[in-house]
């Protein structure tokens, strides 16, 4: 295990301790969140009863393999006394104000929806994800395929040259919602709130990877 993996595991282990019997959980996506799902599965095998709302198909497959009950967002029971008690996920970068960039795994849309529906949001990371200023990690923007070229041109006008995300075989990456991901290397993002507002106004943008005002607590390994 690399030192970075050890930190991810340590952060995930601390997050698992926050889980109580009977909770409905938001299950994140990515290498650090995968540690959480694995360790949560061990507690489930020991008798813990929880339900999980996965933020990606990959996480759903892992959770089921670990024995965790998986439910859809429509089964949570919003407005009927239900809800997501706790969302645990990783980040690609996060600053001192708990403003984060997410979406390296291509699940930013579902991740943001699940986080928005949770009573408490705790994100976990290794120490390398802590930054002074966001932007070193290219900002993912999820776009409907029809509008990819149009949106890319509009984003270029905001100060970067977006790159269409590709799979390892060179084919175009598609999210679980069959959308395109544009990775946007803005460099230092001095005003994340303004950039988030500008991106949200572009027709064809489904969601961006700036997670602002959503994180209740960060746990670093």
Distance CA 177, CA 67 (A): 25
CA-wise closest residue to 117 among 26, 43, 188, 21: 26
Helices (H), the chain: 3-16, 31-45, 57-65, 108-116, 148-156, 192-200
Q: How many angstroms separate the CA atoms of 71 and 93, rounded?
A: 28
Measured distance CA(103)–CA(113) in Å, rounded:
13
Active site residue 111: yes
Q: Which of 69, 75, 111, 207 is catalytic?
A: 111
Q: What share of the chain is helix, strand, coil (3-state, %, to 5)?
A: 35, 25, 40
Active-site positions?
111
């Amino acid at each position: 295990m690399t030192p970075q993996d050890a930190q991810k595991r340590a952060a995930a282990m601390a997050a698992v301790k926050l889980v109580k019997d009977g909770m409905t959980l938001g299950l994140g996506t990515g290498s650090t969140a995968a540690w959480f799902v694995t360790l949560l599965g061990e507690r489930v095998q020991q008798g813990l009863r929880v339900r999980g709302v996965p933020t990606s198909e990959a996480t759903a497959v892992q959770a089921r393999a670990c024995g965790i009950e998986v439910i859809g967002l429509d089964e949570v029971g919003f407005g009927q006394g239900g809800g997501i008690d706790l969302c645990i996920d990783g980040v690609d970068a996060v600053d001192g104000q708990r403003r984060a960039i997410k979406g390296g795994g291509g699940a930013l849309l579902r991740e943001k929806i699940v986080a928005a529906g949770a009573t408490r949001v705790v994100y976990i990371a290794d120490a390398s994800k802590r930054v002074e200023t966001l932007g070193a990690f290219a900002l993912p923007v999820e776009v409907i395929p029809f509008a990819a070229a149009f949106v890319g041109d509009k984003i270029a006008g905001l100060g970067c040259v977006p790159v269409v995300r590709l799979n390892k075989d060179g084919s175009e990456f598609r999210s679980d919602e069959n959308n395109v991901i544009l990775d946007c290397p803005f460099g230092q993002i001095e005003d994340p709130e303004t950039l988030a507002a500008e991106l949200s106004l572009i027709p064809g943008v489904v969601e961006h990877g700036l997670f602002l005002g959503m994180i209740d607590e960060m746990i670093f390994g």
